[in-house]
Amino acid sequence: MARIIIHGNIKPTEAFYSFLERKIRKIESFTKGFGEGVIIRLEISRATSHHKKGRVFRAEINCDIPGMKTKMIRTESINWKLQLAVEEATKDMIRQLKEFKRLLSAKYKKGAREFKQRIRTGDKNEYI
């Protein structure tokens, strides 16, 4: 599993780096079933250098999941505080990963149900 932290036009402290590592570890706990080729990219930056107040900090998380087709799950959050932007993006990424896992298991179960039904009805020619 690869972790990439990109910071553009801001300089995070060591405490903030440890905060980011905790968040990435939390995301990694939901990607363990996908194998070793998972790449998690976290990018933090100021959305604009012109504005001084308001929603100026941006956190973006990209998660590349290997498989038959490489699937990329992406989330982005803009907030007035950098920590809140990272928290929001992390929660959204975890939600999307759970949904993706649920869809994969549903596809697998659907195929198994169809296979079982065909065996029961005697449609064996399709699998020989």
The predicted-structure confidence for 6-21, as pLDDT tens digits, reads as follows: 988 888 899 999 999 9
Q: What is the pTM of this model?
A: 0.80
CATH of the domain at 24: 3.30.160.100
In a domain, 67, yes or no: yes
Q: Which domain holds residue 33?
A: 2-94
Query: Does residue 117 lie within any of the structural domains?
Result: no
- Return d(Cα 42, Cα 59) in angstroms, integer: 7
Cα separation, 76 vs 43, whole angstroms: 9
End-to-end CA distance of the chain: 39
Mean pLDDT of the chain: 87
> What are the pLDDT digits (tens) for 45-90?
987 777 676 678 999 999 999 886 778 999 999 999 999 999 999 9
Specify if 107 maps to a domain.
no
- Cα(21)–Cα(25) distance, rounded to whole angstroms? 6
Would you say residue 102 lies in a domain?
no
Say if 105 falls within a structural domain.
no
Number of structural domains (the chain) is 1
